Structure 1
């Protein structure tokens, strides 16, 4: 994806809980981000990644069709920063190879995620 100076950063959002997903989408958009998703399955997100690359991503550790490992690997290959926002405790088992990634355990106020996104994107400008 070519980054334009005035373009809003595009956040890929993977979340299978509808209320959480819609709230996050609204909060991110209000904070000045564009949002791809929310995607409720890994398959749908991988399909989207086949044609686009986000500025960063928020991944739930597991969606309706399983852990988000393949998406995390693809984002890593593309050097796209991401964080994990999950109801699963950070125990190193779900996404073991991504222990260095910021893991935010649900629930937290949306502002915490917005700030984490802003922090991740600072290093990418």
Structure 2
């Protein structure tokens, strides 16, 4: 994992609610991040991961095509720190093997997610 050519860390964003995705994307960019996505399906995120590796990621637990388990597994294999952002407490059961990952329940201000991304990146250094 390296920063982009412009020196900005890259955040992979999986979110299928358009308003949340656009707001979060804008806030991440304003905070100095590049954003891959937002992806609304796990399939498209996995395709992107075929050629790219982010510095960190924000995953909605379930997208239009189901739980983000495969994406989370791939990020874990690559040792990419990520957080799970979900509006449904039941999603914890779908992704139980990721109990050690930071879970943030919707709704929260996107500034909170930006701050957690920064903490994840600091923890990698």
Q: TM-score, normalised by structure 2?
A: 0.95
Contact 1:83–1:102 under 8 Å retained in 2: yes
Query: Unaligned 5+ residue runs, structure 1?
Result: none
Q: 1:123 to 1:90 in 2, by over 3 A?
A: farther
Match of 2:54 in 1: 54
More helix by share: 2
Does the 8 Å CA contact 2:15/2:39 hold for their aligned counterparts?
yes
Distance 1:100 1:21, change over 3 A: same
TM-score, scaled to structure 1: 0.95
User: Partner residue of 1:9?
Assistant: 9
Distance 1:97 1:108 in 2: 24
Tell whether the 8 Å contact from 1:11 to 1:58 is kept in structure 2 after alignment: yes
Query: 1:77-111 CA deviation, whole Å, 9 max, x = no partner?
Result: 00000000111116631101000000000000111
Cα distance in 2 for residues equivalent to 1:81 and 1:36: 15
Structure 1 stretches of 4+ with a deviation exceeding 4 A read: none
Instruction: Indicate conservation of the 8 Å contact 2:2/2:55, yes or no.
Output: no
Unaligned runs of 5+ in 2: none
Aligned positions of 1:1-125 closer than 5 A: 1-3=1-3, 7-89=7-89, 92-125=92-125
Paired with 1:90 and 1:103, the residues of 2 have a C-alpha distance of: 12
